[in-house]
Amino acid sequence: MHHRPADSSKTPRFTGPRTFMRLPHVTDLDGVDAAVCGIPTDGAVSFRSGARFGPEAIRSASVLLRPYNPRLRVDIVERLSMVDFGDAPTVPGYHLESLERIETFLRPIHEAGVVPVCLGGDHSMVLAELRAAAAVHGPLALVHLDAHADVWDQYYGVEHFHGTVFKRAVEEGLVDPTRSVQAGMRGTLYGASDVDAPRELGYEAISMEELETLAPDAYADRVRARVGDRPAFLSFDVDFVDPAFAPGTGTPEVGGPTSGQAMAYLRALTGIDFRGFDCVELSPPYDPAGVTAWLAASACHEMLSLLALRRG
């Protein structure tokens, strides 16, 4: 069955249950191309919390999304059978237990050949996403847009935190850093050694200082050259975007791209074999005008557009 959203020219967008893009809430994966999943967790953040409410805010903002992406010239509703798969069963206060339950929730999606688009949730959850994806697809090429590299070793003497996930992912063999590219890193650091930490793990790292000299196509060419034909995973932290455009997040860093520039970097990533996507770190309590939620919903539409082009 080809699942599609409710038609907003027939019933108003503010009616009906709040699912992503007004998609049906379906858990039968037969014939499905993409499954949007909420991961409501924020137990592993180092500063401002609230990302547990991210999925519902992205869903509410996403009802304004329309099927056609005029920049990529693709109708995602026609090309993809999409569902809102619901939320992963997280456990507040028990982060390691949450990771296990999120992985168990996501793994059947990969096994069915369906591509999950996960709505965060703080970035710690990506470890569960990558565990589920790598169990089926093998080590993934990571395409990571973020103000932070998230490769610190530990926080408060604890190894599982939202700022440590991409070091853990290398240690667990979930990503192939030699095929992976991080971009957008900026802001103050604990020390000079933090600058080289991604490269020491094997990642290619494009700082914001360097990224702002690259046109989106030049950035995407570098990513494609690095990723090749590997199964890939795209992780988009809303704090990649400047806090003037994305204030609703836990650890903002000034000096990032505008929301329009960020969409252009995302949109340029055509032709990559993405097996999973996420949009993380949206914290609605710090997003009073809802602008960060619009950004997050729009980012998800660009991701689905990349998938639609690839599958088409």
Cα(253)–Cα(286) distance, rounded to whole angstroms?
Answer: 14
Angle at 175 between CA 172 and CA 178, to 5 degrees: 120
Work out how close the CB of 110 gets to Mn ion at its nearest, in angstroms, rounded to a whole number.
Answer: 25
Q: Which stretch binds Mn ion (CB under 5 A): 182-190, 199-207, 228-236, 238-246?
A: 238-246
Cα(219)–Cα(268) distance, rounded to whole angstroms?
Answer: 8
| Residue that has been written with the tokens 């500063």 in this structure | 47
What part of residues 239-278 is at the interface with Mn ion (CB under 5 A)?
A: 239
Which CA distances in Å does 63 have to 8, 59, 95, 218?
9, 7, 30, 32
Which of 79, 148, 167, 226 is close enough to bind Mn ion by CB under 5 A? 148
Find out whether 309 and 72 touch, Cβ atoms under 8 Å: yes
Which of 84, 204, 237, 242 is close enough to bind Mn ion by CB under 5 A? 237
186 binds Mn ion (CB under 5 A): no
| Nearest to Mn ion of 65, 206 (CB atom) | 206
Work out how close the CB of 251 gets to Mn ion at its nearest, in angstroms, rounded to a whole number.
Answer: 6
Work out how close the CB of 149 gets to Mn ion at its nearest, in angstroms, rounded to a whole number.
Answer: 9
The DSSP bridge pattern shows strands 181-185 and 204-207 to be parallel
Work out how close the CB of 126 gets to Mn ion at its nearest, in angstroms, rounded to a whole number.
Answer: 11
| Nearest to Mn ion of 59, 162 (CB atom) | 162
| Nearest to Mn ion of 146, 204 (CB atom) | 146
Smallest CA-to-CA distance from 114 within 80, 65, 66 is with: 80
Work out how close the CB of 147 gets to Mn ion at its nearest, in angstroms, rounded to a whole number.
Answer: 5
Q: Indicate the residue type of 204.
A: E
| Nearest to Mn ion of 147, 201 (CB atom) | 147
Provide φ and ψ at 205, rounded to 5°.
-125, 120
87 binds Mn ion (CB under 5 A): no
Question: Which helix (H) or strand (E) is 181 found in, with range?
Answer: strand 181-185
Q: Whose CB is nearest to Mn ion? A: 148
Number of residues that bind Mn ion (CB under 5 A): 5
146 binds Mn ion (CB under 5 A): yes
Structure tokens at 246: 């994305």
Cα(205)–Cα(146) distance, rounded to whole angstroms?
Answer: 11
Between 28 and 67, how does the x/- string for binding to Mn ion read (CB under 5 A)?
----------------------------------------
Work out how close the CB of 292 gets to Mn ion at its nearest, in angstroms, rounded to a whole number.
Answer: 13
* 105 DSSP β-pair partners: none
| Binding stretches for Mn ion (CB under 5 A) | 146-148, 237, 239
